[in-house]
């Protein structure tokens, strides 16, 4: 190896990445990756987790490959929850895009977590748009963070949306999110939990460790997407809601059993461990959906989506 002079390693920054990752690029990559994953055409080893309790931090390393694709990816994503005390963002990380033909690192994407945020938003929007009734318009949102905002914004790219009912534990943060959504032209206002849970489409994007809504508050005909859970102790949806669901979509059964809301419902005995359908299969062939059925999408984030999106962005920028 010492004999070779490596070419300079390209590092792509946030601005380049933002310009390249147009919504159509993101939706296409995420949809294709979900379908490939549902069809077993992906390689996604279990993620590596490191914990840094002294700094209230953790780091996940996710690898993924769409089988046969030109590139695979290695993503480093950290969350250090005391960073704001020193004026630093909570999340850091990068994505390495590696050639599946030579093993050479084609590029490092210094994206500040944006690609993960967008692929999560796009997956949630695709799930909501595919599973919700055609006429579903009102959206209830639990959570007031960046991902809550993106979930609504990206769904609104696929179908008309409104009103948006935002429920947050802190009133001020819910109002702030409504202000940002209004700036996107959306009709949004803070709401009580029961009101948000009664919307046509319900989205949970919180770090909650216990259900954020009552199963009985969700109306017949509603669709519910949960994106917050990324560790076994996190939980947004009550088990009883799964028992009512006509369709339970998961982005990855094993992951959702391990650290998604689906796993909580299975362990509670509400549904069997094979009650779910891969989201990608539903994107390829939308399910029959009676108007009064409840549908759920439980999304935990799959490395194959990182791979597809990062690879698409590198293709846009480097050709």
* Binding-site ranges for a second copy (CB under 8 A): 1-6, 8-9, 11, 13-14, 43, 45-46, 48-50, 52, 54-55, 57, 59, 61, 63, 65, 68, 72, 74, 76, 78-80, 83, 86, 88-94, 96, 98, 100-105, 108, 110, 112-114, 117, 146
User: 45 near 63, Cβ under 8 Å?
Assistant: yes
Q: Give backbone dihedrals phi and psi of 126, rounded to 5 degrees, phi first.
A: -65, -40
| Enclosing H/E stretch for 59 | strand 57-66
Whole-angstrom distance, CA of residue 68 vs CA of residue 17: 24
Calpha distance 223→185 (Å, rounded): 23
Q: Which is nearer to a second copy, 57 or 287 (CB)?
A: 57
Structure tokens at 210: 């216990």
- The nearest distance, CB 147 to a second copy, in angstroms, is 10
To the nearest whole angstrom, how small is the minimum distance from the Cβ of residue 53 to a second copy? 11
> Using an 8 Å Cβ cutoff, are 156 and 164 in contact?
no
Nearer to a second copy, 14 or 286 (CB): 14
- Work out how close the CB of 8 gets to a second copy at its nearest, in angstroms, rounded to a whole number: 8
Q: How many residues does the chain have?
A: 319
The tokens 């429920």 sit on which residue?
167
Looking at beta carbons only, is 176 or 277 nearer to a second copy? Answer: 176
Q: Are 318 and 312 in contact (CB under 8 A)?
A: no
- Closest CB 108 distance from a second copy, rounded Å: 6
User: Which two tokens mark 240?
Assistant: 């009883």
Residue 117 beta carbon to a second copy: minimum distance, rounded to whole angstroms: 7
**Closer CB to a second copy, 93 or 198, in the complex:** 93
Smallest separation (angstroms) from a second copy to the CB of 223: 27
In order of 39, 57, 78, 84, 219, the CA distances from 50 in angstroms are 30, 9, 9, 20, 40
Listed residue (192, 188, 198) closest to 151, CA to CA: 188
The gap from C-alpha 64 to its chain's centroid, in whole angstroms, comes to: 16
Nearer to a second copy, 90 or 281 (CB): 90
Q: Work out how close the CB of 120 gets to a second copy at its nearest, in angstroms, rounded to a whole number.
A: 12
Between residues 6 and 134, which has the closer beta carbon with respect to a second copy? 6
Nearer to a second copy, 86 or 233 (CB): 86
Tell me the residue ranges of DSSP E strands in 100-212. 105-109, 139-142, 164-167, 188-190, 201-204
């Amino acid at each position: 190896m010492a004999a070779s002079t490596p070419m300079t390693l390209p590092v792509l920054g946030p601005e380049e990445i933002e310009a390249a990752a147009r919504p159509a690029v993101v939706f296409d990559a995420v949809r294709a990756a979900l379908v490939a994953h549902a069809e077993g055409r992906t390689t996604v080893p279990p993620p590596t987790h490191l914990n840094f309790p002294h700094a209230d931090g953790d780091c996940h390393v996710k690898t993924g490959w769409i089988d046969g694709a030109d590139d695979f990816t290695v993503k480093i994503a950290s969350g250090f929850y005391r960073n704001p005390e020193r004026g630093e963002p909570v999340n850091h990380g990068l994505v390495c895009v590696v050639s599946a033909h030579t093993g050479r690192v084609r590029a490092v994407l210094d994206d500040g977590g944006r690609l993960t945020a967008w692929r999560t938003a796009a997956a949630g929007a695709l799930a909501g748009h595919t599973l919700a009734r055609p006429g579903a318009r009102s959206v209830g949102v639990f959570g007031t963070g960046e991902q809550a905002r993106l979930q609504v914004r990206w769904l609104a790219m696929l179908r008309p949306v409104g009103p948006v009912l935002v429920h947050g534990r802190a009133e001020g943060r819910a109002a702030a999110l409504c202000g940002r959504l209004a700036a996107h032209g959306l009709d949004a206002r803070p709401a009580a939990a029961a009101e948000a849970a009664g919307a046509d489409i319900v989205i949970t994007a919180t770090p909650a460790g216990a259900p954020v809504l009552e199963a009985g508050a969700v109306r017949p005909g509603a669709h519910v997407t949960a994106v917050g859970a990324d560790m076994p102790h996190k939980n947004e949806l009550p088990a009883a809601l799964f028992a009512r669901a006509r369709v339970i979509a998961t982005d990855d059964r094993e992951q959702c059993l391990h650290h998604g809301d689906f796993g909580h419902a299975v362990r509670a005995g509400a549904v069997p461990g094979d009650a779910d359908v891969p989201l990608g299969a539903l994107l390829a062939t939308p399910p029959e959906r009676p108007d009064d059925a409840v549908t759920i999408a439980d999304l935990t984030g799959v490395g194959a989506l990182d791979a597809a999106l990062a690879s698409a962005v590198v293709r846009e920028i480097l050709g």
